[in-house]
Every structure is written in structure tokens, then in C-alpha cells.
Structure 1
Amino acid sequence: MKYLITLFIIVLPIIGFAQDPMLQNDTDELEDQATQITQQYNNELALTSKQFVLFQKKVEEFLIRRETIETKYKGKEKLDLLFTMQEVETREMNDILTRPQLNLYKKIKAKIQPLSVVDKR
């Protein structure tokens, strides 16, 4: 009995925190936007069907994070966070794309997914 209680105490927090809270705000609009962005990349990168699905999910994950940053932060702090987020996204695409695809992705990313422009007033 003591073993079961200890196991329950250890497993419960792990299960409770297993989901990424950023991904719980998924909307159909962001999913559609992720599909459109992925299609634009696919036109340039020639993704396989498996890559397309993984790439789309990763884009959607970062669109959710971007939306959160854009609503909570302003000015330079917002731009810094968006820049850092895009660097993380690029690193994570390394697991999905081949090296030639990743090099091309880095070149076209600014055109397809530009950072926000901050008005300095």
C-alpha cells in the first residue's frame, strides 16, 4: 500500500505537467494559418509527406507562442522575444528537415515569416 501511494504521488505531477500549455490554445484559425505557411515552404523545400505533417505541427506550435508574446509584450521586449522564438523554431526544424532543406529554410524564412516591426515613438 505504501508503495502504491508513493507511486501515485510521483506519477500524478508528471501527468499533470506533461502537456505543453502553449499548445492547449489551439484554434482552427491558427491551424489554417500553419497549413498555409507550410504550403509556402513546401513550394520551396519539397517536403515529404511525413515532413509536411511534422513541419505543420511545429509551425502551429510556434504560431501559438507568437500569439502569446504579441498579446503580453510591447516594444523592444516583444521584438527580442519574437527574435529568440524564431531562433528556437529554426533549431527545432533541424530535426525535421535535411541539411540542404534547412539551409534553404533559413534563407527564405524572413520572407515567409517576417518578424514584427516595432514603431519607435
Structure 2
Amino acid sequence: MKKILTILAFLITTSIFAQDTFTQKHSEKLDKRATEIAKAYDKQLEMTTKQFMLFEKKVEEFLITRNKIENNFTGKTKLAKLYNMQREETAEMADILTSIQLDVYKQIKDDIQPLETINKK
């Protein structure tokens, strides 16, 4: 009985803290945009089918995060959060792409997914 309770507690704790795009706010618009972005990268990265699927889901996950940042912050704070989010996204893509693909990804990322800029007054 003690083992069952321990396992049950572990499973509940793991599911609570796991980041999952399915529990985040999902929309068809973001899903479509993630596919467009993944296809743009795939033209130069030549990903495998499995890589493409993982890449597309990761892009969608970060599009959701980006929308939250854009809706809740402005100015330099927004820019700083978007910059940090992009750094995290690049780091997580290292788990999906080969080292050669990752190098190309870093080179073309600003063209495909530009970061916003702030106009100085």
C-alpha cells in the first residue's frame, strides 16, 4: 500500500510540474503559424520527419509564451523577456537539431523569427 501511494504521489507531482503545450492555451492560429515557421526553417535545415514534428511543437510552445509576453508587457521589459525567451528557445532546439543544423538555425533565426525593437524617444 505504501508503494502504491508513493508511486501515485510521484505521478501527480510530475504531471503538475511538467510543461506541456496541450495544457497551455492552444489555438488554430498559433498551430498554423508554428507549421509555417517550421517549414521555413526546414527549407534550410533539412530536418527528418521526427525532428520536424518535435521542432514544430517546440515552436508552438514558444509562440504561446511569446503571445503571453506581448500581451502582458511593454517597452524594455517586453524586449528583455522576448530576448530571454528566444535564448531559451535556441537552447532547447539543441535537443532536437544536430550541431550543424543548430549552427544554421542560429544564423537564420533572426530572419525567420525577428525580435521586436524599441523606438528611442
- TM-score in terms of structure 1 length: 0.86
Change (3 A) 1:10 1:41: same
Offset at 1:24? 1.6
Aligned to 1:114: 114
In 2: Cα distance, 1:82 partner to 1:34 partner:
17
Aligned to 2:25: 25
Matched to 1:20, the amino acid is Q
Change (3 A) 1:14 1:44: same
Deviation per CA, 1:16-44: give whole Å up to 9, x if none: 51443765201111000000000000011
Aligned to 2:88: 88
Change (3 A) 1:8 1:56: closer
In 1: Cα distance, 2:108 partner to 2:4 partner:
53
Matched to 1:34, the amino acid is A
**Unpaired runs of 5+ in structure 2?**
none
Question: May I ask how many residue pairs the two structures share in their alignment?
Answer: 120
Aligned to 1:14: 13
Q: How does 1:35-50 map to 2 (within 5 A)?
A: 35-50=35-50
Which structure's CA Rg is the greater one? 1
Offset at 1:13? 4.8
Secondary structure of the residue aligned to 1:17 is: helix
Q: Percent identity?
A: 44
In 2: Cα distance, 1:9 partner to 1:49 partner:
35
In 2: Cα distance, 1:11 partner to 1:69 partner:
31
Matched to 2:51, the amino acid is Q
- TM-score in terms of structure 2 length: 0.86
Across the aligned residues of Structure 1 and Structure 2, the Cα RMSD in angstroms comes to 2.2
